[in-house]
Amino acid sequence: GESVGLHLPTLSVQEGDNSIINCAYSNSASDYFIWYKQESGKGPQFIIDIRSNMDKRQGQRVTVLLNKTVKHLSLQIAATQPGDSAVYFCAEVSGGYQKVTFGTGTKLQVIP
Amino acid sequence: KAGVTQTPRYLIKTRGQQVTLSCSPISGHRSVSWYQQTPGQGLQFLFEYFSETQRNKGNFPGRFSGRQFSNSRSEMNVSTLELGDSALYLCASSLAQAGDIEKLFFGSGTQLSVL
């Protein structure tokens, strides 16, 4: 029979507010983490990355926080805009050679 | 610079058939990875090629195969298609410079429907 569709957690945010998207990763040996944004009908787009020897990295309107103690990653988007509406994936890289493991994703809905 | 190009954009096949998907990486990128995306399983790694060699492989049956050409273009093939192979197949390329972890640049994917 058909597999049950993956229920994506959804975060609804008012335009102009800050968004926080969370992710739990599985491999404590992962040495690199990435956030991707996927808009409808497109492939994932790189947003920001962070190495395991860091706990915070800032980009333009985005900040990634890494807590290795609890294997948790978060993406903060400041002043969320309608164009930020998309599915956001965290990904962990381990063992080199581009083997990237993606999380299940979070759907961000921005309310105008 | 052109992005990652995948062809065809949409494909409809029937069970038992085989299919070949194509990916042209960004010029100068030497690594090509393939992913399967479904609502039920999310994004799953299929395999990665660098300089015409498969360096990494995910947990998919042997019906899924791929190759990379000398110009870095890549193809993936799925034989004896099953209904569960219906998915968005994404290709990603990267520079893959030694000693550095590279950003993946994704194409828009090929949406495969198996009837």
Q: Is the peptide bond before B25 cis (omega within 30 degrees of 0)?
A: no
Asked if B96 lies within 8 A of A100 by C-beta distance, the reply is no
Q: Count of residues for chain A?
A: 112
pLDDT > 80? residue A57: yes
In tens digits, what is the pLDDT along chain B, a chain of 115 residues?
A: 689 999 999 999 999 999 999 999 999 999 999 999 998 788 999 999 999 999 889 999 999 999 999 999 999 999 999 999 999 999 999 886 655 666 889 999 999 999 9
Chain B residues closer than 8 Å to A100 by CB: 33, 45, 104
Give residue A12's pLDDT.
96
Give residue B103's pLDDT.
80
Give residue A29's pLDDT.
84
Give residue A96's pLDDT.
60
Task: Give the pair of three-digit tokens for residue A35.
Answer: 């956030």
Compute the nearest-CA separation of B23 from chain A (Å).
13
Give residue B63's pLDDT.
97
Asked if A6 lies within 8 A of B106 by C-beta distance, the reply is no
Task: Give the pair of three-digit tokens for residue B99.
Answer: 């000693």
State the average pLDDT over residues A50-77. Answer: 95
Give residue A4's pLDDT.
39
Give residue A59's pLDDT.
94
Kindly indicate whether the domain formed by A10-111 is annotated with CATH number 2.60.40.10. Answer: yes
State the average pLDDT over residues A63-84. Answer: 96
B9 touches chain A (CB under 8 A): no
Query: What are the residues whose beta carbons fall under 8 Å from the beta carbon of B31, sequence distance 6 or more?
Result: A98, B25, B48, B49, B50, B93, B94, B95, B96, B102
Nearest Cα to Cα of residue A9 among B42, B1, B71: B42
State the average pLDDT over residues A47-76. Answer: 95
Query: Which is it for the CA torsion A65, A36, B31, A27, positive or negative?
Result: positive
- Greater confidence (B39 vs A86) lies with A86
Give residue A1's pLDDT.
33
Compute the nearest-CA separation of A111 from chain B (Å).
24
Three-state SS string across B45-91, please? Answer: EEEEEECCEEEEECCCCCCEEEEECCCCCEEEEECCCCHHHCEEEEE
Interface mutation vs chain A, best among B56, B91, B104, most A CBs within 10 Å: B104
Point out the residue among A43, A98, A102 whose CB comes nearest to the CB of B42: A102
pLDDT > 70? residue A2: no
Please state, rounded to an integer, the average pLDDT across all residues of chain A: 89
A99 touches chain B (CB under 8 A): yes
A7 touches chain B (CB under 8 A): no
pLDDT > 60? residue A67: yes
Give residue A6's pLDDT.
53
- Greater confidence (A31 vs B112) lies with B112
pLDDT > 90? residue A27: no
Are the beta carbons of B23 and B75 closer than 8 angstroms?
Answer: yes
